[in-house]
Amino acid sequence: MLMYIVFSSLSLLTASLNLLVIISISHFRQLHTPTNLLLLSLAVADFLVGVFVIPMKILEIEPCWFLGDLVCVLCFFLTCITVNASILNIILISVDRYVAICDPLHYPTKITQKRVRLLILLCWIYAVFYSFMLVYDNLEQPGRYNSCYGQCVVNINGVVDIVLFFILPITAIVILYLRVFVVAVSQARAMRSHIAAVTLQRSVTVTAKKSELKAARTLGVLVAVFLMCYCPYYCVTFSGYDIMMGSSIEVYMSFLIYFNSCLNPVIYAFFYPWFRKSVKLIVTLEI
């Protein structure tokens, strides 16, 4: 009963918070920037986690699976798509912040809305294709790995999954953020060293730099939360321990992964004033 309450609350909260992000960015034309399009794509992935993935996880808590072998595989397939799309979107956001901080003069020409839309499309296509290849054997013959009736067992290549959607993304995200952090710190020191030159041009530049530094901090928090939520699951998998679906340890680690989808919009709320303002307009029906 405690698991039902916790997962149901998490599902409702995740769907609601990410829906606010989706409505905010979609409705307000001022928010149609390349960075916010990436945040919108991430919010869509996290919204699907709250609406479909977590409720399916609630059903897995039951001792027996009553929805059939095909639905079991399809549920895992949808979980792979949404979780992988969320990871890929975080990588794209890291790249976006890297270009904005490390090459700000060329950022408007390199990161355009057209290119971002194309990257988002490729991100989702890759997530679907990879997830399909991951569960292809299971889709071809659903239930082939079940040892008895009423089980929901999906067999995947754990090594490939760990390399492609943990080691490589973590490495890319950490390297990009460390580079962003170093450049942001050097920019902050440069601003302090030229504090004497008080001009209108400097004031505008400092405002822009502060905005970019704030975005870098937001990325840092996003990366830290991502690592805390995903590391336990993949570390246990990497150790060679077989995780049984529906077991207490599998439920706990799945909760951490899904909790990341709930925390992402909370991070936006704390760090982005535009999100707080748009949420206020939506909740008070002034939209």
Higher pLDDT, 187 or 179: 179
> Tens of pLDDT along 142-159?
766 666 676 777 766 666
What is the pLDDT at residue 146? 67
Among 40-44, 109-113, 182-186, 268-272, the minimum mean pLDDT is found in 268-272
Enter the tokens of residue 115: 């290119």
Distance (Å, whole) CA 226 – CA 234? 12
Higher pLDDT, 187 or 7: 7
Predicted model pTM: 0.82
Distance (Å, whole) CA 92 – CA 79? 20
- On whether the CB atoms of residues 229 and 90 are closer than 8 A, the answer is no
Distance (Å, whole) CA 63 – CA 40? 37
- What sign does the CA torsion over 264, 266, 267, 268 have? positive
Among 109-113, 152-156, 178-182, 276-280, the minimum mean pLDDT is found in 152-156
Domain count, the chain: 1
Higher pLDDT, 222 or 71: 71
Enter the tokens of residue 63: 């001792």
What is the Cβ-side half-sphere exposure of residue 145, based on CA atoms within 13 angstroms? 16
Q: If you compute the radius of gyration of the chain from its CA atoms, what whole number of angstroms results? A: 21
What is the pLDDT at residue 177? 79
Higher pLDDT, 61 or 47: 47
Percent of the chain with pLDDT over 70: 78
Enter the tokens of residue 99: 């270009």
What is the pLDDT at residue 238? 65
Cβ contacts of 47 within 8 Å, gap of 6 or more: 14, 15, 18, 19, 22
Tell me the CATH number at 43: 1.20.1070.10
Please state, as a whole number, how many other Cβ atoms lie within 10 Å of the Cβ of residue 106.
Answer: 10
Alpha helices of 142-247 — where are they, by DSSP H?
A: 158-162, 168-193, 200-238
Confidence of residue 58 (pLDDT cuts 50, 70, 90): confident
What is the Cβ-side half-sphere exposure of residue 118, based on CA atoms within 13 angstroms? 5
Residue ranges making up the domain that contains 57: 2-283
Mean of per-residue pLDDT scores for the chain: 79
- On whether the CB atoms of residues 40 and 272 are closer than 8 A, the answer is no
Distance (Å, whole) CA 272 – CA 276? 7
Q: Say whether pLDDT at 205 is over 50.
A: no
